[in-house]
Structure 1
């Protein structure tokens, strides 16, 4: 090769090298940006697909007599939202000393106290089979692997090894559960679970992991929400009917329903359970995945003849709404239903009810309103429950009334933007 040819070859190679460097430099920002965008998109998709926890069953805690050691409780519960990684929450909220659970199991109910064969599985707590809960506290189990169906009837079996003082639970379950002496939690048949109870002990919540789009609604209320006068053991409280509607509804991301009603409960004062204002944190705000609070309470404040005014109740509602909004939750307000014919009804209390209902309907304080008053009242006497919906005591709806209440809820209002 001549000197001239060699020089030209070196020049061509140099030019190609320089061009490659320039292309790399010019394209680097675009490539880096594309990579960053790709990674961000992957992260976004991951977050959208990542599961989160949602309450699928709940029951308000209260004091229910005295605790006893060496007792087993097989509690029948009916879930709402489907998911994986089931956890239970055990409460010693009203205890005055530590409470020790020796073991806990969850299984699918077959009938009575019998579990479906092969479904009864042990729960752990930070890897341990036992758990001690301090007075005034609650604790979650570890997630239990596997998929749990929507609207499932489960058996939660607890063995209380050591206990004393006040017991914590939910007295009016409207559901038969079972108790025994000793630890029979691992047994799938119900032969040793011979004593029936109408209360839930120590268990106040179940949650599952599901998609981030899925949320829950908590019904905060009194005996009507708790289900009094509905048919027992049939899940015919109005939140149960609402849950069935939600499970069957397409395009509605709210699937979890927690019933946090207490019979006799008031918004402002303690009595039958702590007031709604006092129990709001434990029974509503502390639960995972809650999208909306459904507030239906106030009739017990009115009929108690303690001088509660509409202004007092409205102030209580405003506080609940403010605290729920502060937690990022929506609030649906429900009007107070008529109760003429109940022994505590009088014209003064009726005037308070009408004033409060006007506030609920027209103030704009709530994110949405459900008009239970309009649904349940008689067209011939707006102060009375429609006879076809009356459970017999002129204040609590029967099964038909419970279903009418649930059917009147606009499902879209349970998922507002907040």
Structure 2
């Protein structure tokens, strides 16, 4: 069957296997479905636009075709999907709240916590998920509510006087306890939200949590406010502020059946390192804006990334291979999954071809397993290529060779339903191992806002295909020569977002005024 959109022809075919599972085949200009790595024919390499593919999948669902797994029950009623998430993790000591909010073995005693959150899709009612997954003790919540931030802005201490809606639990209780190692979802909240709107969630805990091990997300890029005493309904709070989220893991929206969430699994690049605090200009935020502009208002963009995260081993937060089921496959209303990760495995691994070849092969194995599990649930899975890191602390020829191996496999193996070549988007054309200067945040690893905007723009534009033959193997074939540059020269001071410390770092440790060197993990210190 053929469908037409904006002058482009999208061809679809549906095949039924003996098991009763339906498989979707599709063709989009410049985009190719899975091909066998053993094929001898050359073909235009995938350079994917997300919007046409999502339109493809949504149009099939809208036509009452179940394109992935016929065992999935078709729902005609409203359902819950994620409209905002953060990736919960154990808060490191450097990211704990300041005194008096963290004192000895108790955290947040007699504390009001006010946090602003960026919705992706709109709904007439929502619910909030409180997280104690990594907590060392039960989490008592004395009171909580949801409101609109002053001026609709992120990171502000004030809320509008109306509406302020109490958050209740388990059928109307205004207080609750989140058991150690678990999450707690609130009752339904009659609180209409609009796409891309900011909301404020304020909670108060009188007892505090009787532990120094708490849940949080250090890379919020959004200001959180802490004040002693119960100020949940105060139109403004004062006290300490910091750029971390605590004790929340999701906001869910009650939406029509054609709505679904697009879950992105990633590291600091997806978490927004190099973006601006309180501006919501990480690349997933900017992609959301593009989707909304293109009329895809029924897709929730869900950011399940964390700075320093690795695929194969725990680091700053649990490894991707240990968390992908929790953070993607079992999330409320998930319809699509995307992987954009691997740079920290390569960059923190020992140099040398033997070690780096092993890391590349292990990444390929992990990505294959994640894709297999997603597809078994009927979830289309996308992947993005690993972006350049030449001249950063990770810069090394053996690491670059590993990046090239993994990227070539991502683009040509046929493992994923679609791929996006982020590497091509933001690399330096004259030195492909390095970020283009106009997209470099200063550390040669993380893009700046212009880079994030370019990724978002070109993930929703018309791709220009390149010609690359399929590989005959995933990791052992010869690679093209690798070009690298020398590490950043030492200098007296680093600019905004420049790296100023971390394991193995040898560059400048001072920051230009008014910025200071702030530690995010043992691997990351940046001028903020």
State the TM-score, normalized to the length of structure 2. Answer: 0.67
| The 10-residue stretch of structure 1 (198-207 or 279-288) with the greater mean CA deviation from structure 2 | 279-288
| The 10-residue stretch of structure 1 (106-115 or 367-376) with the greater mean CA deviation from structure 2 | 106-115
Question: Is the contact made by 1:370 and 1:408 (CA closer than 8 Å) also made in structure 2?
Answer: no
Q: Return closer, same or farther for 1:245/1:410 CA change in 2, 3 Å cut-off.
A: closer
1:151 matched to 2:191: no
Aligned residue number for residue 139 of structure 1: 184
Number of aligned residue pairs: 365
Q: Distance in 1 between matches of 2:462 and 2:137?
A: 44
SS in 1 for 2:375: helix
1:286 aligns with one of 324, 330, 343:
330
1:270 matched to 2:314: yes
Question: Is the contact made by 2:341 and 2:386 (CA closer than 8 Å) also made in structure 1?
Answer: yes
Q: Return closer, same or farther for 1:305/1:197 CA change in 2, 3 Å cut-off.
A: same
Aligned residue number for residue 275 of structure 2: 230
Q: Distance in 2 between matches of 1:193 and 1:398?
A: 31
1:60 matched to 2:104: no
Question: Is the contact made by 2:439 and 2:447 (CA closer than 8 Å) also made in structure 1?
Answer: yes
1:309 aligns with one of 356, 359, 374:
359
Question: Is the contact made by 1:80 and 1:247 (CA closer than 8 Å) also made in structure 2?
Answer: no
Q: Distance in 2 between matches of 1:382 and 1:154?
A: 41
State the TM-score, normalized to the length of structure 1. Answer: 0.84
> For residues 351-390 of structure 1, what are the structure 2 equivalents within 5 Å?
351-390=401-440
SS in 2 for 1:80: coil
1:258 matched to 2:302: yes
Q: Write out the 4+ residue segments of structure 1 that deviate beyond 4 Å after TM superposition.
A: 410-413
Q: Deviations over 1:314-369 (max 9, x none)?
A: 01111211222233321110000011010221000000100100110001101110
Where is the helix percentage greater, Structure 1 or Structure 2?
1
1:125 matched to 2:172: no
Q: Distance in 1 between matches of 2:245 and 2:205?
A: 13
1:338 matched to 2:398: no
| The 10-residue stretch of structure 1 (197-206 or 324-333) with the greater mean CA deviation from structure 2 | 324-333
Q: Distance in 1 between matches of 2:205 and 2:77?
A: 35
2:134 aligns with one of 78, 84, 94:
94
| The 10-residue stretch of structure 1 (340-349 or 285-294) with the greater mean CA deviation from structure 2 | 285-294
1:395 matched to 2:445: yes
SS in 2 for 1:184: coil
1:176 matched to 2:223: yes
SS in 2 for 1:83: coil
Aligned residue number for residue 496 of structure 2: none
Q: Distance in 2 between matches of 1:243 and 1:410?
A: 10
| The 10-residue stretch of structure 1 (118-127 or 157-166) with the greater mean CA deviation from structure 2 | 157-166
Give the drift of 1:290. Answer: 1.0
Give the drift of 1:412. Answer: 11
Question: Is the contact made by 1:213 and 1:253 (CA closer than 8 Å) also made in structure 2?
Answer: no
1:215 matched to 2:260: yes
Which stretches in structure 1 are left out of the alignment for 5+ residues?
Answer: 1-46, 414-418
Q: Return closer, same or farther for 1:182/1:231 CA change in 2, 3 Å cut-off.
A: same
Q: Distance in 1 between matches of 2:200 and 2:191?
A: 16
Question: Is the contact made by 1:265 and 1:300 (CA closer than 8 Å) also made in structure 2?
Answer: yes
Aligned residue number for residue 248 of structure 1: 293
1:197 aligns with one of 242, 253, 257:
242
1:407 matched to 2:451: no
Question: Is the contact made by 1:246 and 1:254 (CA closer than 8 Å) also made in structure 2?
Answer: no
Question: Is the contact made by 2:195 and 2:297 (CA closer than 8 Å) also made in structure 1?
Answer: no
Question: Is the contact made by 1:61 and 1:91 (CA closer than 8 Å) also made in structure 2?
Answer: yes
SS in 1 for 2:337: strand
Q: Return closer, same or farther for 1:194/1:161 CA change in 2, 3 Å cut-off.
A: same
Give the drift of 1:282. Answer: 2.4
Q: Distance in 2 between matches of 1:344 and 1:132?
A: 43
SS in 1 for 2:335: strand
SS in 1 for 2:339: strand
Which stretches in structure 2 are left out of the alignment for 5+ residues?
Answer: 1-73, 97-101, 464-528
1:167 matched to 2:214: yes
Indicate the RMSD between aligned Cα atoms, in angstroms: 1.9
SS in 1 for 2:163: coil
SS in 1 for 2:114: strand
Question: Is the contact made by 2:82 and 2:332 (CA closer than 8 Å) also made in structure 1?
Answer: yes
SS in 2 for 1:144: coil
